[in-house]
Structure 1
């Protein structure tokens, strides 16, 4: 498309924002930009529109505006196709949100977001969307609804590779475009008709009036003009509309309401919902600029996240994903209303005519059956009911039959594709292609199961899951509830440790540690166990950050907890806790994030001060009262974004937010200083996998070291509900996953007992399984 197309069209954009059933004049998260002189050559024709939203108030309005401005600058610096630039922009924002989630896990609610990236270039509109989003193209005589149901609930901050939905369309003066993050149930055909046929201010009012409680979106008018993108503010709506609104073309008709139907409107079905398949995944290219870190504002609620980000539809990939210049949009998409509504209207007319004819025949029959004028005594309302009820009954039966036949056909289509894909996967020798084929098999089966649940579909799904488990060295764990009864809903478990008969859980909501003891096959909560924040003599303990088991000792303390101020709390099974204050380092405390007890020593990692300290026990009671020692000598690795650590003898393992691990070896000798490897490579020998500083598709959050007879390192991937077992040399041994659906939630904590019982916590729900 030539450059002159956009130069002949303006985009007039009006925000749509309704919150708590009240209209808002501003729309936080909306950002509009035009190319500047400093724009890269590839982006000089791109007009950018961003609409971002989050499930909790992750950023203040000013901070969000600053973030979107940074994203604008990064977009206009990118080279390559429009599609790749939009994808990279979403990946940049996703990495920021995901890192914030991991960094603040346990202390703040998890953030899930969505963003719609709209680029107008050379007369085309390009959309890249992750998270909830609905695009409507209001065109003469029809409305195209462009949406992917599988994107609902997905978005930013869930995984390293966000699932992105792509679409594009050709623009013409007179078109209207609506993009919103939700689809109000109260919108109907009349909403769109009135919006299309009225000026922007009236269209805005109609969308907001029909939206119900909440709405966040934008309404775009494509008008004749010099090629500007204009944000229309509500207070200047009338003036702007007079200037920018084009004269309607004589042949233009309102959407969804063909001319011959205007005089007698009939019931309209919901628009047909169609979607462009998501584009294939791409790996992040090296050397790309990354967003500088931002801090979250206070948040008020925790939301459940949908974590299944790897599901992909096996359908023909749009040419848009290969390069937008060669794609011809619109031909494969059907009008969401034009075809279906006219068909149902014609059917309704026919059925109504049938009902009226049936009524006349019924009256004739009754005249023959009922003597004299008795027919007159039958109320007219009964006769009218019969005239309406008969066609309604026929419509209902016809719709049910059509729906069932349609569901069978949809099931057969998807299941047939799934069988073909499974056969191809079984015959494939390339591990990466085979893995993708099995993943697509599962996706297709799940699509088929949306229409019908059959034994053959479930058997095929299990076959594909088993094949992937074998390739990825996954052992399925038979989970069972660990605790008799249930914990209160407010419990938020973030750390766990276990002995052969007890499990201890740090609840950040109550700022205390809970104990459960083994009673038969289940664990019972110990209501007499006390270990939490409070005042102990002159010491105030609050904001516990971590817990660690203590070896057997004369005082019978079972564990020690530490708060952010460097206070230790010794906890006992049958008596009240005892608190002491650690001797702080010379630099005092910055931001300690964790503790562990190994080698009769207490180790503390302080991320802010870039230090690991260790305290030696002064006696067999493990009282750490002396000044600490610095773990490092000459070489000190960067500990920014460290989220967990573990100790095995002289070996230190530090886990970072980006999934990498740094290892350091302590000697204590001046002639042989502490040495570090950063990052240390994970050795991954699975088919189609490669060793490297990260594990592909994994997002690690916690690290656990277990003792002999099988010393190991266990890494928690909360989003995939996976536990990775590595040797102390970081050789991948096994991956463990539940054999049951945990409803897509994060695993918030885990531990492994000396008897190889693994415990998993999902906030206030605790499960156990036995490792092989």
Structure 2
């Protein structure tokens, strides 16, 4: 999706009566060159306010850490935002524990946003405030119970997610702490009627307290974020006169000078208070369709500012369910204390009879027994408290997250817009993940399946039941880059040693053949280098081989179980070649195609019974595809040749057998994506492919491997291009447990078994549709 709005961010900061030009915790970052799947078109906005002794360098380091974790996390947007928040929270908690007693703890309030097209998704952590001044009026998002007290105080935090559908002329106000009266002022504002600079002056003049806030202006543009300084009212997208702009470089520059670092605490302290005139906060992300119902969200809680001091802990009003759990805990602890007192009294009465005092003196308990009682009684109480928490406290967390997940799932079902529905279903998965941290039940598994099935339908994903092919993982030094399969054998190319491994089918799966030999060496006077590609062979051929491999110099190696490999050098083309990078056979095994990417050539060898001893012909005519040195792989079906390039685009060339009609290429070939949110073009925005192959006849589909998603995409060659038919992936739970590394190779067997190599294990799925 192409973004259509620009965001202008203007800081509003005042410390001890002095206005500050910048906020060190405010930054905007565009996607770097390499990002995880799903993060390609999302601009990250960070508004971080920290208490304690924090320098500008710390701000820059921690905002950079947020960005790195966000852009390296694939999948749902809310999961990526949550992962970034969790990562920074762990860092601050560890810092506070390490420096306990030496310096004041650092407590953070965070608003983390991701701009994707017309939607802005925000994660609020701590008692922050977000105002959206839109065409439908002003909406206020603030929920202490959902967002918690802030970063650095607890190992477990839960961001409060808000999703906004932006319109040109909208205004946003983000506050780490909100001065009294701001809400009424902002509720009276009309969208688009007041400039950003005028709104800033109003807010500054309304209160003399220390301020820490951000003003955001939405205007039509090209998906850029401009960090303005006071005095810059707005930025026209075409002019480019920016204070700072988030560009595709993905780099971040500290936005405060060193002199400002010591004078900028970034967040003034705040005492918990309740505004009588405060309006209730929205307890679920807004949407154009129905919104999920509020679950346990207290109303009318806001923060009044203080002049100094660190961010205080908010007093959270427990939910009725939590109150009931606390009452049970108090009753149990009271019973425990009464039991301990009765035990102590009984011991005091009973033990003197066993240990009479000498000389008529009053009996006394031994010091060892008293020490034991001093340790045992608190230990019993703590144990009871822990049992109660793990029995009731985690259950409450589970129930609350499940209710939020159900609400998000229902909102997605009721939404008429696919993009909006996707966000809600992703949010449902996020809350199911949080619920299952404490309990995994049949209800949570069913809810996960329902949300995942809806997302899979949007993405045309077919889930396959994969299982391990090998009883034990391969050695860690093995790097599988290619695979080929027959009805009984599986061949793996180990790029580390440049050799082929064989696994044969047994009743328990596949087993590695330790005696199979097919690798670099000298055979009958011919030197074979490190093998770079392989193909499986039909049973009947002139060499009685089962697999054919090639090295970078064009020497073929025919291999079979219990047989000596046979080396046959290919005839060097008259023009010579630079380096063989890949090869393949056509469907009837009568032509061998050799890719010489550095030499910008594909050579075609003709032969019978897999004997390719003749001189080759250049496949291309006058038209040679561009960027041939970047070609990764090739596949052939009849007269059609398909080349895959590093950036994910494909070139298709059709061989001409007539002198009057040269071979023609379509470069690049259009990938037709008819999904609801799909976008046709030379590549798919969500995927970067690394290899392609045809399955066994009569299947005419072309299959591509997407390594990061461990997915196999299926395309159907058409006149208009490659039509996306769908993609194959493992069951979601299996993938989370087993697929912990990128996929490196794929293969199809004649009976429609799909093999994937992930890390050091090979997996297969049978009866692929």
TM score, norm. by length of structure 2? 0.60
Partner of 1:746: 742
Partner of 2:201: none
2:631 is the alignment partner of 1:723: no
The Cα shift of 1:506 comes to 0.9
2:673 is the alignment partner of 1:684: yes
Q: How many residues get paired?
A: 553
Partner of 1:17: none
2:590 is the alignment partner of 1:593: no
The Cα shift of 1:411 comes to 1.2
2:725 is the alignment partner of 1:733: yes
The Cα shift of 1:429 comes to 3.2
The Cα shift of 1:416 comes to 0.7
Residue 623 of structure 2 is aligned with which of 624, 634, 638?
A: 634
Residues 272 and 337, structure 1, Cα contact 8 Å, conserved in 2 = no
Task: Note the 1:551-566 alignment, pairs <5 A.
Answer: 551=538, 552-566=540-554
2:537 is the alignment partner of 1:541: no
2:362 is the alignment partner of 1:422: no
Partner of 1:405: 392
**Counterparts of 1:390 and 1:497 in 2: how far apart (Å)?**
67
2:34 is the alignment partner of 1:94: yes
Partner of 1:532: 519
Residues 166 and 277, structure 1, Cα contact 8 Å, conserved in 2 = no
The Cα shift of 1:577 comes to 1.3
Residue 604 of structure 1 is aligned with which of 581, 594, 605?
A: 594
Residues 166 and 279, structure 1, Cα contact 8 Å, conserved in 2 = no
The Cα shift of 1:665 comes to 2.0
Partner of 1:274: 157
2:502 is the alignment partner of 1:515: yes
Cα displacement string for residues 254-288 of structure 1 (whole angstroms, at most 9, x for unaligned residues): xxxxxxxxxxxxxxx97454365689799996999
Partner of 2:129: none
The verdict on how the C-alpha distance between 1:678 and 1:157 changes in structure 2, with shifts beyond 3 A counting, is farther
Residues 665 and 674, structure 1, Cα contact 8 Å, conserved in 2 = yes
Task: Tell me the secondary structure at the aligned position of residue 516 of structure 2.
Answer: coil
2:565 is the alignment partner of 1:577: yes
**Counterparts of 1:331 and 1:404 in 2: how far apart (Å)?**
36
The Cα shift of 1:158 comes to 6.6
Cα displacement string for residues 375-405 of structure 1 (whole angstroms, at most 9, x for unaligned residues): 7563213213312331232133223323433
Task: Tell me the secondary structure at the aligned position of residue 645 of structure 1.
Answer: strand
The Cα shift of 1:704 comes to 0.8
The verdict on how the C-alpha distance between 1:357 and 1:479 changes in structure 2, with shifts beyond 3 A counting, is closer
**Counterparts of 1:706 and 1:393 in 2: how far apart (Å)?**
66
**Counterparts of 1:591 and 1:196 in 2: how far apart (Å)?**
62
The verdict on how the C-alpha distance between 1:185 and 1:422 changes in structure 2, with shifts beyond 3 A counting, is closer
Partner of 2:768: 771
Cα displacement string for residues 17-52 of structure 1 (whole angstroms, at most 9, x for unaligned residues): xxxxxxxxxxxxxxxxxxxxxxxxxxxx77989xxx
2:453 is the alignment partner of 1:460: no
Unaligned runs of 5+ in 1: 12-44, 50-81, 99-111, 120-124, 128-134, 170-178, 198-268, 293-313, 318-328, 341-346
TM score, norm. by length of structure 1? 0.60
The verdict on how the C-alpha distance between 1:669 and 1:577 changes in structure 2, with shifts beyond 3 A counting, is same
**Counterparts of 2:285 and 2:552 in 1: how far apart (Å)?**
54
2:434 is the alignment partner of 1:450: no
Task: Note the 1:678-717 alignment, pairs <5 A.
Answer: 678-717=667-706
**Counterparts of 2:103 and 2:613 in 1: how far apart (Å)?**
72
Residue 472 of structure 1 is aligned with which of 453, 459, 481?
A: 459
The verdict on how the C-alpha distance between 1:336 and 1:673 changes in structure 2, with shifts beyond 3 A counting, is farther
The Cα shift of 1:155 comes to 5.6
Residues 51 and 310, structure 2, Cα contact 8 Å, conserved in 1 = no
2:56 is the alignment partner of 1:138: no
**Counterparts of 1:589 and 1:275 in 2: how far apart (Å)?**
59
The Cα shift of 1:688 comes to 3.5
Residue 102 of structure 2 is aligned with which of 191, 194, 207?
A: 194
Residues 488 and 504, structure 2, Cα contact 8 Å, conserved in 1 = yes
**Counterparts of 2:366 and 2:436 in 1: how far apart (Å)?**
49
Residues 470 and 762, structure 2, Cα contact 8 Å, conserved in 1 = yes
Cα displacement string for residues 485-506 of structure 1 (whole angstroms, at most 9, x for unaligned residues): 6544443322111223322111
Task: Tell me the secondary structure at the aligned position of residue 34 of structure 2.
Answer: helix
Cα displacement string for residues 93-118 of structure 1 (whole angstroms, at most 9, x for unaligned residues): 435x99xxxxxxxxxxxxx9xxx99x
Partner of 2:651: 662
Task: Tell me the secondary structure at the aligned position of residue 449 of structure 2.
Answer: helix
**Counterparts of 2:603 and 2:163 in 1: how far apart (Å)?**
48
Partner of 1:434: 421
**Counterparts of 1:468 and 1:276 in 2: how far apart (Å)?**
22
Residue 370 of structure 1 is aligned with which of 352, 374, 382?
A: 352
**Counterparts of 2:304 and 2:596 in 1: how far apart (Å)?**
59
2:743 is the alignment partner of 1:756: no
The verdict on how the C-alpha distance between 1:525 and 1:622 changes in structure 2, with shifts beyond 3 A counting, is same
The Cα shift of 1:477 comes to 1.7
Residues 147 and 273, structure 1, Cα contact 8 Å, conserved in 2 = no
The Cα shift of 1:157 comes to 5.9
The verdict on how the C-alpha distance between 1:3 and 1:431 changes in structure 2, with shifts beyond 3 A counting, is closer
The Cα shift of 1:679 comes to 2.4
The Cα shift of 1:474 comes to 2.7
**Counterparts of 1:4 and 1:587 in 2: how far apart (Å)?**
69
Partner of 1:387: 374
Unaligned runs of 5+ in 2: 1-9, 106-151, 166-220, 225-237, 239-245, 251-282, 287-301, 316-328
The verdict on how the C-alpha distance between 1:564 and 1:280 changes in structure 2, with shifts beyond 3 A counting, is farther
The Cα shift of 1:759 comes to 1.5
**Counterparts of 1:92 and 1:280 in 2: how far apart (Å)?**
24
Residues 661 and 693, structure 1, Cα contact 8 Å, conserved in 2 = yes
**Counterparts of 1:413 and 1:4 in 2: how far apart (Å)?**
36
Q: Which has the larger radius of gyration?
A: 2
The Cα shift of 1:677 comes to 2.1
The Cα shift of 1:532 comes to 0.8
Residues 516 and 523, structure 1, Cα contact 8 Å, conserved in 2 = yes
Residues 93 and 153, structure 2, Cα contact 8 Å, conserved in 1 = no
Task: Tell me the secondary structure at the aligned position of residue 748 of structure 1.
Answer: strand
The verdict on how the C-alpha distance between 1:433 and 1:407 changes in structure 2, with shifts beyond 3 A counting, is same
Partner of 1:306: none
The verdict on how the C-alpha distance between 1:459 and 1:166 changes in structure 2, with shifts beyond 3 A counting, is closer
